[in-house]
Amino acid sequence: MLHDTLLSTLILTPGAVGLVVLLLLPRQADSAARWLGLLASLATLALAALAWSRFDPANPGFQLVEQRPWLPQVGISYSLGMDGIALVLVLLTALLQPLVFISSWISISQHVKGFIASMLLLETGVLGAFLATDLFLFYVFWELMLIPMYFIIGVWGGERRIYAAVKFVLFTLAGSLLMLVGILYLAYLHHAQFGVWSFAYGDMLRLNIPMGAGFWGSPQLLLFAAFALAFAIKVPVWPLHTWLPDAHVEAPTGGSIILAGILLKLGTFGLMRYNRPLFPEAWEAATPLFMVLAVVAIIYGALVAWAQKDIKKLVAYSSVSHMGFIILGLFAGTVASTQGALIQMINHGLSTGALFMLVGVIYDRRHTRLIEDFGGLAKVMPLYTFAFLLATLSSIGLPGLNGFVGEFLILTGAFAEHPLAVALAATGIVLGAIYMLSLVQRVFWNALVHEENRNLTDLTWREALAFAPLALFMVWIGVQPGTFLRLSEAAVRHLIGG
Amino acid sequence: MITITHYLVLSLVLFTLGVVGMVIRRNFITLLMCVELIINAATINFIAFSRQAGDVTGQVFAVFLITIAAAEAAIGLGIIVALVRLKQTVQLDQANVMRG
Amino acid sequence: MNMDLRADLLALLPELTLTAGALVVLLAGVGGGGRRHGGLAVTALASVGLTAIALKIAVDVSEAGRLFFSGMFVLDPFAVFFKVLFLLTAALAPLLSRDYLERHDYRPGEYHSLVLFATVGMMVMASGTNLASIYVGLELMALSTYVLAGYFRREVKSHEAASKYFVLGALSSGVLVYGLSLLFGELGSLDLAAMAAALGGAERTPTLLTGMALLACGFLFKVAAVPFHMWTPDVYEGAPTPITAFLSVGPKAAAFAIFLRVFLGGLEGLTPYWVWLVGGSAALTMIWGNLAALTQDNVKRMLAYSSIAHAGYALLGLLAGSELGVQSVLFYMLVYLVSNLGAFGFVILLESRGYAGETVADYAGLARRQPLAAFGMLVFLLSLGGIPPTAGFMGKLYVFAAAVNAGFVWLVVVAVVMSAVSLYYYLRIAMQMYLREGQEGEGAEVLAAPWTARAIGVCGVFVGIIGVYPAPFAAAARTTAALIGVTLP
């Protein structure tokens, strides 16, 4: 019974609980809201694990498929399906969500109900976007994410939160609406070529989209651009990244974790799921451009991160750099580099999520995030120092931890075809090591000059509990990447081959 | 010999006078008269065309138009009376409180 | 002949019923009973209900596809769809107005009866197959709404709204009727079918095209499309808020009904000429409506510009012209109706002291004081902005799909970019409600207005259902569009 509706249950559980929290709980029921949110996200995690257990990694196609007519006359259906690529991202999402609730348990004290509800609705949007196999349904879920995130940044954010929230919405919306035009145009093409309306992903793959001549005369290039722009803004690809530091710095810790850990992945996921298979020739044509943009992002992000005085901003810019690696891996287009990009999406979710969480920890204690306000924390907060160091090492790709696996696969996979890009990207790794380690040096090892820092409490059990699963996966993926690579290999081979 | 063209020119002149008057004048009563000019221009057209084609529908519609014009004038005068009571003026621009 | 008259009157039964209802309300409102707000509103509501029953009877009894009153009047599904929309509006109007009228102490008798008369006019418009009957319906609607806009005669703003509405409305209807006279001269008839037939062989003379253009201008004025929109912000701001709500949906939908019927029915042969006129106006409408809304601080004015912009989106469906296009306009009108009435419902609820609750800043911190009201307003705003999973998104989807299908990709690009812009000003209100702290006792408060709250509830249910499961509503619009009674490609 549950087999038929497992994905729907997975997607709708958080959103339904979110609505209950928002509309039915009495006004002051903060603690009940927290518990409900945590339980809902744990239930979602359990459902995701159940989906994992029923997933057959050898099958490259969509599994646990659900299909119901929704708007039959225009060919829109409610159809869901999970392939290996979606599975790993769903697992990441389901894993991070409860950790967000645990880490925000104390720090979000205002309008708790709204926060929990927004987060849960956001999770529904994210899971739906990963699992939808109808372009229209995908778009609905994609847009569904926008409003909760607007409120998460705008209500619980820092001083310039309203500016950041509006900027986030306008950037995202501008891109996604052009994608809607693209989706409608695809459905129209299907109507023209097959005589019926359809938005189904499988049907779109059968379309013959003409390349035409020039950019403006080429439907395929224009469609590619419409989709790629929406996704590139989300990733964000340099030079569309300017919303990201604002949004990150102003968002509350939980918002930053979700933003960096999951929402950015939707951009790369979209490129992988839609742009590559739907517009293969345009993808070929755009590869040099995206290679350049990826390399620029890697180096630019690293250099700007190095110059930051604010720890959170530094981590935000490091995201720009890391997402550049993922773009590089995707567009290099080999199985190894694409697998690397996928695992790197997970890694970035884990390590950057962990870093944002840990930055939140000291911000809660000191209400500052400036590097110069710290120093010598290693003696005061040994457990915290260990956690931060682990996340840093994971982020810069130390062998034995997860980051290494992703970067290694991307660079080896891309080397044969794009040696120059790989060489330049490798300098990005070196820069990454420099700025991250210098951050660690300045925050943890230098002399303890600020008296306020002498009495900081170490990680509490709650904070440690939120961090522990991340640490576990960092080591697990680092030591035994095969477990996870195996899940998506068939799907990725199918993607590259098809 | 008066041809259909004569009627059309007359109605065009009336129509133009009415439209221009509506645009440049601000006295409510003048505006009301301009509205009547426009509707009468249309009425003349209807009657002339109807006569030319030997068909009565245009003339029937002309009667409708006269009735509607009367109703419109009644409503317009009602609004003017209310304006005078409230503002002691029939100049529209002296009653302007909202930004345009 | 007798049988014919009987059939004619049966087809007209809904309009007759509503006219009788309007007269009853008018008479009951005279004299000492004139202050019985609840009773009069219920009477108005009951006559709308009776009209709905009469409509059902008329549809059941009348022969399908038959023309009544010598080809002046038709009761096809297209007309019925719009009549249902108008009756929905007319049923929500007394609910929205009842508490408001009592609070501001104006007599409800004439008020409700004028709303009903305007509705009769709109119903005639939807059924008209001859420009004469369409014009008479249009004037009945217009004359009633002029008075309604100025109904709060002790308010300077309301009065100003009425004067401007009257002057510009009379100008537009004069221009329209002058256009009609030219078309009549060239085509020899005002009957849509006869006009379409005559167009087949008629030369495209300047007179004919001028007549067509003047008619289009008149219609664009009625739907409040740029550049004939100048009356809208002032009238919407100045008119009593429930009337603004009524004006923004009822007459606009009626104007779209005749726009579709006349330009896709009678004047379809001139499509190559009017498509540029209407297309250009649609683009300007979407751009200017949304850009101007950005700078408004008055919520009613902002919603006025937003309603201008929405007319632009709906015009895309008219341009698309196909069955899908007509369907999309019908569906869009339904969606827009419930979203906009809901949003105005909250403006009415929040208007506590005089005209407070009208500026955006009055909404500051509302989410803290009235979480449910703020959430409801948010839903309607998102629906107007077209965010899934609300009704507004589905409406836009159909219109955009129809326009893409008809090859108007550039207009759809304009429309989606402008939708993005529109979200900015809708979210401005959301931002005030959720992100700002209101000062104590400064902002708007929700008043105890159970009737208004009920109307909002109805709209909210529609917005939610259509947003998640639009299929039956879209199907209703589709069967209607297929039977519009005009030649479709």
The pTM of the full predicted model, rounded to 2 decimals, is: 0.84
Q: What is the sign, positive or negative, of the torsion defined by CA atoms of C268, C270, C272, C273? A: negative
Residue type, B45: N
Query: What pLDDT sits at residue A77?
Result: 86
Q: What is the pLDDT of residues A344-373, one digit of tens each?
A: 999 999 999 999 998 888 888 888 888 888
Total residues found in chain B within this entry: 100
Q: Is position A103 within any domain?
A: no
Among residues of chain B, what percentage have pLDDT more than 70? Answer: 93
Residue type, A386: F
pLDDT tops 90 at residue C119? yes
Cα–Cα distance for residue pair C283/C289, rounded to 1 Å: 10
A contact set with C (CB within 8 A): 22-23, 27, 69-74, 114, 136, 139-140, 143-144, 146-147, 150-151, 154-155, 161-162, 165-166, 169-170, 173-174, 177-178, 180-181, 184-185, 187-188, 191
- Among the partner-chain residues C371, C387, C475, the one whose CB lies closest to the CB of A73 is C475
The answer on A284 and A184 residing in a single domain is: no
B71/C143 touch (CB, cutoff 8 Å), yes or no: yes
Q: What ranges do the domains of chain B cover? A: 4-93
Cα–Cα distances in angstroms (integers) from residue C168 to residues C110, C230, C234, in the given order: 24, 9, 11
Place of tokens 């418009």: C125
Cα–Cα distance for residue pair C221/C229, rounded to 1 Å: 6
Cα–Cα distance for residue pair C486/C265, rounded to 1 Å: 5
Give the dihedral of Cα atoms A353, A359, A361, A362; nearest 10 deg: 170
Task: Tell me the Ramachandran region of residue A214: left when phi exceeds 0, alpha when psi lies from -120 to 50, beta otherwise.
Answer: left
Burial string for C451-466 (b: 16+ CB within 10 Å, else e) reads bbbebbebbbebbbeb
Write the DSSP assignment of A412-448 as a string of letters: HHHHTT-HHHHHHHHHHHHHHHHHHHHHHIIIIIS--
Q: What is the pLDDT of residues A177-206, one digit of tens each?
A: 888 888 888 888 888 888 888 888 888 888
Q: What is the mean pLDDT of residues A370-397?
A: 86
Query: What pLDDT sits at residue C305?
Result: 94
Residue type, C346: F
Compute and round to an integer the Cα radius of gyration of chain B.
17
- pLDDT confidence bin for C486, thresholds 50/70/90: very low
Closest chain B residue to the Cα of C150, Cα to Cα:
B79
Q: What ranges do the domains of chain C cover? A: 2-482
B98/C178 touch (CB, cutoff 8 Å), yes or no: no
The answer on A294 and A170 residing in a single domain is: no
Residue A36 belongs to domain spanning:
1-98+110-233
User: What is the interface pTM, i.e. ipTM, of the complex?
Assistant: 0.94
A294-298, A343-347, C115-119, C321-325: segment of lowest average pLDDT: C321-325
Helices C371-385, C409-435: inter-axial angle, 10-degree rounding: 170
Q: Is position A272 within any domain?
A: no
More confident residue, C366 or C57: C57
Residue type, A419: P
- Residues paired with C128 in a beta bridge: C73
| Domain total of chain A | 2
- Neighbouring residues of B50: CB distance < 8 A, sequence distance ≥ 6: B56, B57, B58, B59, B62
Residues of C (179-238) whose Cβ lies below 8 Å from B: 180-182, 184-185, 188-190, 230, 233-234, 237-238
Query: What pLDDT sits at residue B98?
Result: 67
Q: Is position A248 within any domain?
A: no
Helix then strand then coil, in percent of chain A rounded to 5, is 75, 5, 20
Q: Hey, which chains touch C, using 3+ CB pairs under 8 Å?
A: A, B
Cα–Cα distance for residue pair A463/A461, rounded to 1 Å: 6
Residues of B (78-97) whose Cβ lies below 8 Å from C: 78-79, 82-83, 85-87, 92, 95-97
Contact status, residue C289 vs residue C304, Cβ threshold 8 Å: no
pLDDT tops 60 at residue C346? yes
List phi, psi (to 5°) of C191. Answer: -80, 130
- pLDDT confidence bin for C103, thresholds 50/70/90: confident
- pLDDT confidence bin for C232, thresholds 50/70/90: very high
Q: Any chain B CB within 8 A of the CB of C141?
A: no
Cα–Cα distances in angstroms (integers) from residue C230 to residues A111, A404, C174, C224, C335, in the given order: 42, 63, 17, 8, 25
Report the CATH number of the B4-93 domain. 1.10.287.3510
C13: its two tokens: 């039964």
Q: What is the mean pLDDT of residues C382-391?
A: 86
CA distance C197 to chain A (A): 31
pLDDT tops 80 at residue C158? yes
Q: What is the pLDDT of residues C292-327, one digit of tens each?
A: 998 888 888 999 999 999 999 999 999 988 888 888
Query: What pLDDT sits at residue C335?
Result: 92
Helices C391-405, C450-468: inter-axial angle, 10-degree rounding: 50
pLDDT tops 90 at residue C123? yes
Cα–Cα distance for residue pair C315/C278, rounded to 1 Å: 7
The answer on A159 and A11 residing in a single domain is: yes
pLDDT tops 70 at residue C481? no
Closest chain A residue to the Cα of C416, Cα to Cα:
A177
Q: What is the mean pLDDT of residues C47-74?
A: 87
More confident residue, A29 or B44: B44
- pLDDT confidence bin for C260, thresholds 50/70/90: very high
Q: What is the mean pLDDT of residues A478-489?
A: 87
Burial string for A302-312 (b: 16+ CB within 10 Å, else e) reads bebbbebebbb
Helix then strand then coil, in percent of chain C rounded to 5, is 80, 0, 20
Is A76 strand, coil or helix?
Answer: strand
